[in-house]
C-alpha cells in the first residue's frame, strides 16, 4: 500500500492557508512536498510485514539463556496529536532453539514505531512479534519515552517520561526471570 503524496501535499497547502500562512512564500513553497515525504517515511511501518522483515535472519542455536538487546533508539508519532515521541526500547527473550540476527530486533522496533502509535500498543506489538517469530519461551519489552505532546503543549512537563512494559510467557509467569530482565535493562550503560 502506497500513500497518496499528491493528496497529502494539497492537504498541507490547505492547512498552511487555514493557519493564515502564505504557502507560496519562499520558506514554505516546498513545505507540502517535504511534509508528504516526511510522512511517507514516518509511517513506512504500515507498509512492512514482520515475516518479510525477519526473513531468513532467525538462526538455530541450542540455548535457552536470556538474550537482551537494550537501548534501541525509537522515534514515533503519537496518534492523538501526531507529535513525536522518542526514547529507548529494551527487548529480552528466552529462545527455544532459534535466535534473531542482531539487527532484526532494532528493525522490528522501527517497523512498529513508524506508524501512528500509542506507546502502550507499540510495546505489546513488539513483544508479540518477537514471541511469534521464533516461538520464544518468554519475551520482555520495556519502552521509556518522552512525548512532545506532553512537553510542547498541554501540561508542558519537560522531564516527564512514560515507561511501558509487556511481559509474555516465562517473563510473566516466572518472578525470577522477570526480575533478571528488569535488573539487566536497568543497569547503567557501559561507556
Q: Which bin fits 143, alpha (ψ -120 to 50), beta or left (φ > 0)?
A: beta
Known catalytic membership, residue 90: no
| Catalytic residue selected from 14, 61, 73, 80 | 80
Known catalytic membership, residue 125: no
| Catalytic residue selected from 81, 124, 144, 146 | 81
Using DSSP's 3-state secondary structure scheme, residue 22 falls into coil
Using DSSP's 3-state secondary structure scheme, residue 91 falls into strand
Residues in the chain: 191
Residues 78 and 147: beta-carbon distance below 8 Å: yes
Nearest Cα to Cα of residue 186 among 130, 142, 121? 142
| Catalytic residue selected from 89, 117, 119, 137 | 119
Known catalytic membership, residue 73: no
Q: Which bin fits 163, alpha (ψ -120 to 50), beta or left (φ > 0)?
A: beta
| Catalytic residue selected from 9, 69, 78, 89 | 78
| Catalytic residue selected from 14, 79, 120, 173 | 79
Using DSSP's 3-state secondary structure scheme, residue 56 falls into coil
| Catalytic residue selected from 149, 156, 158, 180 | 149
Q: Which of the residues are catalytic?
A: 78-81, 119, 147, 149
Amino acid at each position: 500500500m502506497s500513500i497518496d503524496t499528491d493528496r497529502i501535499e494539497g492537504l498541507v497547502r490547505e492547512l498552511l492557508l487555514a493557519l493564515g500562512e502564505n504557502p507560496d512564500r519562499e520558506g514554505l513553497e516546498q513545505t507540502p512536498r517535504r511534509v508528504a515525504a516526511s510522512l511517507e517515511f514516518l509511517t513506512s511501518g504500515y507498509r512492512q510485514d514482520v515475516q518479510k522483515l525477519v526473513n531468513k535472519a532467525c538462526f538455530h542455536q541450542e540455548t535457552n539463556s536470556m538474550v537482551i538487546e537494550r537501548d534501541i533508539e525509537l522515534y514515533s508519532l503519537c496518534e492523538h496529536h501526531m507529535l513525536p515521541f522518542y526514547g529507548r526500547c529494551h527487548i529480552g527473550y528466552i529462545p527455544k532453539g532459534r535466535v534473531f540476527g542482531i539487527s532484526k530486533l532494532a528493525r522490528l522496533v522501527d517497523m512498529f514505531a513508524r506508524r501512528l502509535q500509542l506507546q502502550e500498543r507499540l510495546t505489546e506489538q513488539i513483544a508479540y512479534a518477537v514471541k511469534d517469530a521464533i516461538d520464544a519461551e518468554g519475551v520482555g519489552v520495556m519502552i521509556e519515552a518522552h512525548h512532545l505532546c506532553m512537553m510542547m503543549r498541554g501540561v508542558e512537563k519537560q522531564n516527564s517520561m512514560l515507561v511501558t512494559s509487556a511481559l509474555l510467557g516465562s517473563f510473566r509467569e516466572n518472578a525470577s526471570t522477570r526480575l533478571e530482565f528488569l535488573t539487566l535493562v536497568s543497569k547503567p550503560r557501559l561507556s
